[in-house]
Amino acid sequence: MTTMNAALCSHYGDASALTVGETNIPDRQAGELLIQVHASSINPVDWKILRGDLRVIFGRKPPQILGGDFAGIVLEADENDRFKVGDKVWGLTEIRKLNSTPGAHAQVTRCASHLVDYMPANLSYTEAGTLPLVGLTAYQSLVHRAQLQAGQSVLINGCSGGVGSIAIQLAKALGAHVTGVCSGANQNLAYELGCDDVIDYQRRDLIACSDQFDVWFDVVGHRNLRTVRHQIKPNGTYINIVKLLSTSLSALLNPLRKQSSHAVFVAPDANDLAALRGQIEDEAIRAVIDTVYPLDDIASALAHNRTHRVVGKLAIAMAHTTNA
Ligand SMILES: NC(=O)c1ccc[n+]([C@@H]2O[C@H](COP(=O)([O-])OP(=O)(O)OC[C@H]3O[C@@H](n4cnc5c(N)ncnc54)[C@H](OP(=O)(O)O)[C@@H]3O)[C@@H](O)[C@H]2O)c1
């Protein structure tokens, strides 16, 4: 077979700028894997790219095929690659390179082999396909950037969505004391995932809270170091994953303070994926799935994600009527 189904973007716009149709299966380059995608997932970056927020990277037209996360089966690999045809893998495509390398909202994708990892043995494709981007974001923020240690405390602002639901579990597995911030409707889930304390932001003014944390992880991204400084310990860390430019600039304006402020942009990384796989196979981290959409209904999934009310993740399930 030379063609596949994919969600194709023709122009910037809302979900109506996407059509699910046939296109050519990508040509695998040396050092890459060709992967039959069984599941991908929706992340806010999908509709942000489609809306045109990242024109500075992608130019006049959006990438033809979006989608960061994938879980699937290796169809082709270099002869001496560590992955073999038939291996189950998961990974994150290079979002900045989506113009030249197709994303994962498709029956088949290609990805540099060194960025890919074996899929966790205890997950379904659907579960695994929801985790790479949010899992790597949580891991790179809490482990690499904040160097969160056992016995430290972390506040996770926006703990019930994609990144937050993994960040709670990861922080707990690292031995931290975890305070989550979410709406009352998601409070029970937050405790179930491992929060020691939960702040319902609809009932309590988060900024009036007098506790102090070693790490203030701003997943919602609507705060900054200045507004939450009183809630961060003297040597503590503030991380924002949404307002990257202003957070980076404010870090430059903060050189004499011991409290640090960081913007994190997720990067595909096979070692970090393998570390997450370990936590998942040890049952310290699980996927939280709100809804599974078929590829044909990806427009509804994008619209659902834009409500900011998703609990955990939205999965995209790929049907395979061909062997690609
Ligand atoms: N820099 C990076 O590399 C990177 C990586 C991943 C994501 N991101 C960005 O990070 C943000 C979060 O991503 P995500 O995948 O976690 O999004 P998401 O799954 O869409 O987040 C949805 C959650 O946000 C919560 N929420 C909405 N308003 C809130 C508020 N005022 N206070 C606390 N929680 C609130 C909702 O919880 P309630 O209903 O309980 O309020 C909902 O469960 C997005 O802007 C995304 O683009 C950046």
| Strand ranges, E, within the chain | 3-9, 18-24, 32-42, 69-76, 88-92, 108-112, 117-118, 153-157, 177-182, 197-200, 213-218, 232-240, 260-263, 289-294, 313-317
Mutation probe of ligand 1 site: the residue of 241, 245, 288 with most atoms within 8 A of C-beta: 241
Q: Determine the Cα–Cα distance for residues 39 and 105; give it in Å rounded to an integer.
A: 8
Tally Cβ neighbours within 10 Å of residue 60.
Answer: 7
What is the number of the ligand 1 atom nearest to the C-alpha of 201? Answer: 32
Residue whose CA is at the smallest distance from ligand 1 atom 23: 161
Q: At 70, is the secondary structure helix, strand, or coil?
A: strand
| pLDDT confidence of residue 321 | 67
pLDDT band of 89, cuts 50, 70, 90 = very high
User: For the chain, what's the residue count?
Assistant: 324
Confidence (pTM) = 0.97
State the chain's maximal CA–CA distance in angstroms.
61
Residue 166 has pLDDT above 80, yes or no: yes
Say yes or no: do domains 3-131+287-317 and 133-263 share a fold. Answer: no
Cα of 221 from ligand 1 centre, angstroms:
8
Cα of 29 from ligand 1 centre, angstroms:
35
Q: At 283, is the secondary structure helix, strand, or coil?
A: coil
The predicted-structure confidence for 197-248, as pLDDT tens digits, reads as follows: 999 999 999 999 999 999 999 999 999 999 999 999 999 999 999 999 999 8
The predicted-structure confidence for 47-66, as pLDDT tens digits, reads as follows: 999 999 999 999 999 999 99
DSSP sequence for 138-165 = HHIIIIIIS---TT-EEEEESTTSHHHH
Q: Determine the Cα–Cα distance for residues 315 and 302; give it in Å rounded to an integer.
A: 11
Residue 271 has pLDDT above 80, yes or no: yes
The predicted-structure confidence for 117-158, as pLDDT tens digits, reads as follows: 999 999 999 999 999 999 999 999 999 999 999 999 999 999
Structural domain spans, the chain: 3-131+287-317, 133-263
| pLDDT confidence of residue 324 | 42
| pLDDT confidence of residue 252 | 80
Q: What percent of the chain has pLDDT over 90?
A: 94
Cα of 320 from ligand 1 centre, angstroms:
31
Q: What is the CATH number of domain 3-131+287-317?
A: 3.90.180.10
Cα of 212 from ligand 1 centre, angstroms:
22
Tokens of 271: 């070692």
What is the number of the ligand 1 atom nearest to the C-alpha of 163? Answer: 16
CATH class of the domain at 133-263:
alpha beta
Pocket-forming residues, ligand 1, beta carbon under 6 Å: 43-45, 133-134, 137, 157-158, 160-164, 181-183, 186, 201, 219-221, 241-242, 264-266, 305, 308-311
The predicted-structure confidence for 242-262, as pLDDT tens digits, reads as follows: 999 999 888 787 766 789 999
Q: Determine the Cα–Cα distance for residues 94 and 69; give it in Å rounded to an integer.
A: 10
